[in-house]
A = this chain, B = another copy of it.
Amino acid sequence: MMRRSAGPESPLTPPTAFEEVFAALPLLHPTPRSWAELAAANLPEFLADHAVCEQQVAVYALSLAGYYPEDPELVDRAAALAAEEVQHFRRVVAILRKRGWPLGGRRKNPWAQALRAQIVPGREPWTKVDRLLFGAMIEARSCERFTRLLEVIENQDPEVAHLLADLGPAERRHWELFHRLAGREIDAKALAVRFQRWREFEADLARGLGISPAVHGRNLAPSWCPSPSRRHARG
């Protein structure tokens, strides 16, 4: 993937690869390029965090199959997605290993935690819809961040650039998959309304994130912690 413009400030230059990818994602707040510069300067930390993200998405996908065993398409897709994410995890671990960089262990991801806290169990079909739209937001933001970072490191670290160039499109497939699966449960208008709430909530979170080299940013300001009232509690 190549940036097509060296002058993103000019209104006459064509959009960058990042801008094209962003336009096709359901995100309302673009990650600033300064995040990618920080992540590029701290690649060991970024990659270690990324590995844990892959591992956690694999576990999440398996949990979805456990929640909805009576939904054959969801089970098949979730299992295939889990298998793919485990392979991504192994691929990131192999790069860390080769470079002598430590793999991180479990750590807090306040962005993902705040999103996940919006899911209220036991209110089907909304719980299922929200579990899938949560997955869609996770994958969409990962796709966006990988694309952002790729812009910065593509000439600096070909191995990681190659990884990101492969994983970005995979994450794009995954958000579309989660969104499509959610759309089987409710009509198109209800889905659009529900997804819009997720998009806005996620954008608020992303704006409030401190910049750190992690995949989703950390250092969530206290004011962005999920409120006990759970905005999305009612379907």
Contacts and interface: CB of A to CB of B under 8 A. Distances in A.
A195 interface: no
Interface in A57-104: 58-59, 62-63, 65-70, 72, 75-76, 79-80, 82-83, 86-87, 89-90, 93, 97, 102-104
Given A59-B59, A97-B72, A52 B66 contact: yes
A187 B102 CA distance: 27
B58 A76 contact: no
A55 interface: yes
Interface range on chain A (Cβ under 8 Å from partner): 20 to 34
Given A76-B93, A86-B79, A86-B86, A106 B58 contact: no
Interface string A94-135: 000100001111100000000000000000000000000000
A174 to B, nearest CB: 16
A69 to B, nearest CB: 4
B69 A102 contact: yes
B59 A55 contact: no
B103 A67 contact: no
B79 A93 contact: yes
Contacts of A55: 62, 65-66
A3 to B, nearest CB: 33
Interface of A: 48, 52, 55, 58-59, 62-63, 65-70, 72, 75-76, 79-80, 82-83, 86-87, 89-90, 93, 97, 102-106
25 contacts: A52-B66, A55-B65, A58-B62, A58-B86, A59-B62, A59-B63, A62-B89, A67-B105, A68-B105, A69-B103, A69-B104, A70-B103, A70-B105, A72-B97, A72-B103, A75-B93, A76-B93, A79-B86, A79-B93, A80-B90, A82-B86, A83-B83, A83-B86, A83-B90, A86-B86
